[in-house]
Structure 1
Amino acid sequence: MDKIILNACRFYGYHGAFQEEQTLGQIFVIDVELSVDLQKASQSDLLEDTVHYGHVFEVIQRHAEQEKYVLIERLAGAICDDLFEKFQPIQAISIRITKENPPINGHYTSVGIELERSR
């Protein structure tokens, strides 16, 4: 299946299980791969024959910056649900959400989750 990919989209949000996360916020890095049949778009060169990744970005941004979730698993699930609802050509979604600075003691580059969903 063909893919539309949004890499390393960065948002400032207030998601987390700890009060500090919900009050101070932090940066969330979100990667999304959308499985979409792009054959028609690859031949027509018409925007209406694909999924507009600018509109996809806006959906992700709204959830990441305007909503508040305790779990990043729920943030990812809400994004998937919304993308499936708004963009019928999407057949499957892989989404990765990373926190670079969660409030846990230790040495690491980041922590995160990845979900894979399909219709």
Structure 2
Amino acid sequence: MLGKIRLENVRLYGFHGCLKEEEMIGSDYRVDLEVTADLSAASRSDRLGDTVDYVHLQSIIREEMAIRTKLIETVAARILDRVLEELPAVKSAEVAVSKINPPIGGDVQQVTVCLHKNRD
């Protein structure tokens, strides 16, 4: 039985961006991650070892968001790569990385990049 595990609205502070100010001052970010996996064993056993540990997922998000990059596309791709590399039960994953109040010269709440990747 395939199911989904979602981490929603993981809030972080980071220093991503192409502008020198973004590197120095930083800004708020939001990450949403959804993974698809076979959850049938976990639904019967009630054992953490039979599911995708969402603490591990959050650790991946936090570690990758801590690495400064110019583009949030790069951060999103690294998160997906690690999820599929480190968690063999995951069949596919989708991540959305949002920069809150981006410095783009207008009243914009956030800019979001969404990437999806399937296990090969």
TM-score bracket relative to the smaller structure: over 0.9
2:25 counterpart of 1:24: yes
Find the counterpart in structure 2 of residue 97 from structure 1: 97
Q: Given residue 75 of structure 2, which amino acid in structure 1 is its aligned partner?
A: L
Q: CA deviation at 1:108?
A: 2.1
- Deviations along 1:16-47, one digit per CA (max 9) or x if unpaired, are 11111111111110000001110110011000
Query: What is the identity percentage for the equivalent residue pairs of Structure 1 and Structure 2?
Result: 36
Q: Over aligned residues, Cα RMSD in angstroms?
A: 0.9
Task: Give the 5 Å matches for 1:1-80.
Answer: 1-65=2-66, 67-80=67-80
Name the SS of the counterpart of 1:16 in structure 2.
coil
Q: Give the structure-2-normalised TM-score.
A: 0.94
Find the counterpart in structure 1 of residue 85 from structure 2: 85
Q: Given residue 2 of structure 1, which amino acid in structure 2 is its aligned partner?
A: G
5+ long unaligned stretches in structure 1? none
Aligned length: 118
Q: Give the structure-1-normalised TM-score.
A: 0.95
Whose strand fraction is larger, Structure 1's or Structure 2's?
2
Q: CA deviation at 1:109?
A: 1.8
The 2-side partners of 1:83 and 1:48 are apart by 16
Name the SS of the counterpart of 1:51 in structure 2.
coil
5+ long unaligned stretches in structure 2? none
The 1-side partners of 2:29 and 2:90 are apart by 23
Contact 2:32 2:95 in 1 (8 A): yes
